[in-house]
């Protein structure tokens, strides 16, 4: 096998990729969407159900052992050009204990990075995805191991997807290779402009003026573009017949997706309610469907002409279906769940996944040869 740096420099061989914390395959789908000539030589995931889904869609079951047990020799054996990592986010979330690298859930990630100086064949490329706040750990090892970095905080809203989910991304290249737009080296970038060679002013969604935020949302597709059910209706039985054709026969009725009125009465003031023509919804977490507060948006299915006069209890609120959440995450149409994965498990697995619409152009940018 050619040296990793030689391969990255434009050889005919596909890039050899290791996919850590592979989940249900969001990173691999992003790699495919990016059009990168790459071969995933191994994926690593400890969640058994996530591996069932990954295997169902890709025909390969990820390595399910503890990656903390991997040695430098083990990693060298893969001869990987690139490592893609989406480690557990709980140590860094605003709702969590924020112990950062002191949290046991971060140990496996740190262990992998600490092995890098001891590799005979270190990767040429690194890609790390996590929650906003992860940047505080600074990934100092990238500097110790001769990498140049560009960091991003981006949201699907900036890519035309009506989904508010800012995430942190660290892209790293081992010297002497650098990025196409070297001006952004060692910077935290909050705009997708550099990915498309647009050197506009970097911004983050929360810093936008009211006018700019309106323009950003208007550029997004409406939520109805991502729904299984295109025409809102109060006829649950009719909707159920339509849904059953595209949801892997998970449910016998759409009834299970409607929010009980008792929950509307108790938690209505805390619910984020959106409509089919809305241009934004909130982040879906792994607790979506189990809880209604702070776990993701709910869809109002009341007839449009009745919307303004209807009370919250009359809005006919329902959860987004797993297929709809997958659509908003930009998973392809041929992505499927195995039949034995329960409804709650599907939501949990999707909540731990990533936005393919955001990650794909980042990977395309990372794998591009410097000009």
Count how many residues are written for the chain.
371
Q: Which helix (H) or strand (E) holds 129?
A: strand 125-131
Catalytic residue among 89, 170, 220, 281: 89
How many Å apart are CA 142 and CA 301, to the nearest integer? Answer: 49
The 8-class DSSP code of residue 341 comes to: S
Q: Which of 371, 317, 28 is nearest to 181 (CA)?
A: 371
CB 274 within 8 A of CB 297: yes
How many Å apart are CA 106 and CA 83, to the nearest integer? Answer: 17
Does the annotation count 251 as an active-site position?
no
CA angle (219, 84, 156) in 5-degree steps: 10
Sign of CA dihedral 121, 127, 130, 133: positive
- DSSP character string of 229-265: --S--S-HHHHHHHHTTTTTT--S-GGGGBPPHHHHH
How many Å apart are CA 215 and CA 209, to the nearest integer? Answer: 10
Q: Which residues are catalytic?
A: 89
């Amino acid at each position: 096998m050619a040296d990793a740096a030689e391969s990255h420099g434009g050889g005919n061989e596909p890039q050899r990729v290791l996919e850590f914390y592979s989940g249900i395959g969001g990173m691999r789908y992003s790699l495919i969407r990016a059009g990168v000539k790459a071969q995933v030589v191994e994926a690593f995931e400890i969640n058994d159900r996530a591996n069932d889904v990954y295997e169902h869609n890709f025909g390969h079951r990820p390595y399910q052992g503890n990656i903390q047990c991997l040695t430098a020799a083990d990693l060298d054996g893969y001869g990987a050009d690139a490592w893609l990592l989406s480690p557990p986010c709980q140590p860094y979330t605003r709702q969590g204990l924020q112990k950062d690298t002191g949290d046991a859930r971060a140990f496996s990630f740190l262990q992998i990075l600490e092995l890098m100086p001891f590799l005979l064949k270190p990767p040429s490329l690194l890609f790390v995805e996590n929650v906003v706040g992860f940047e505080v750990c600074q990934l100092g090892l990238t500097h110790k191991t001769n990498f140049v970095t560009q960091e991003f905080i981006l949201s699907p809203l900036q890519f035309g997807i009506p989904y508010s989910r800012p995430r942190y991304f660290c892209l790293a290249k081992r010297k002497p290779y650098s990025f196409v737009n070297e001006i952004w080296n060692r910077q935290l970038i909050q705009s997708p402009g550099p990915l498309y060679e647009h050197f506009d002013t970097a911004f983050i969604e929360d810093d936008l003026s009211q006018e700019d935020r309106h323009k950003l949302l208007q550029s997004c597709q409406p939520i109805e573009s991502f729904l299984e059910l295109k025409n809102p209706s109060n006829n649950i039985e009719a909707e159920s017949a339509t849904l059953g054709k595209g949801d892997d026969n998970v449910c016998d009725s759409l009834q299970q997706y409607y929010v009980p009125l008792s929950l509307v009465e108790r938690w209505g003031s805390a619910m984020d309610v959106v409509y089919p023509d809305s241009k934004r919804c909130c982040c879906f977490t792994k607790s979506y469907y189990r809880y209604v507060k702070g776990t993701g948006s709910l869809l109002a299915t009341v007839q449009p002409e009745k919307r303004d006069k209807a009370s919250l209890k009359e809005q006919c609120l329902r959860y987004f279906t797993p297929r709809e959440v997958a659509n908003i995450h930009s998973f392809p149409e041929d992505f499927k769940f195995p039949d034995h994965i329960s409804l709650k498990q599907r939501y949990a697995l999707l909540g731990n996944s990533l936005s393919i619409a955001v990650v794909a152009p980042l990977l395309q940018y990372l794998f591009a040869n410097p000009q």
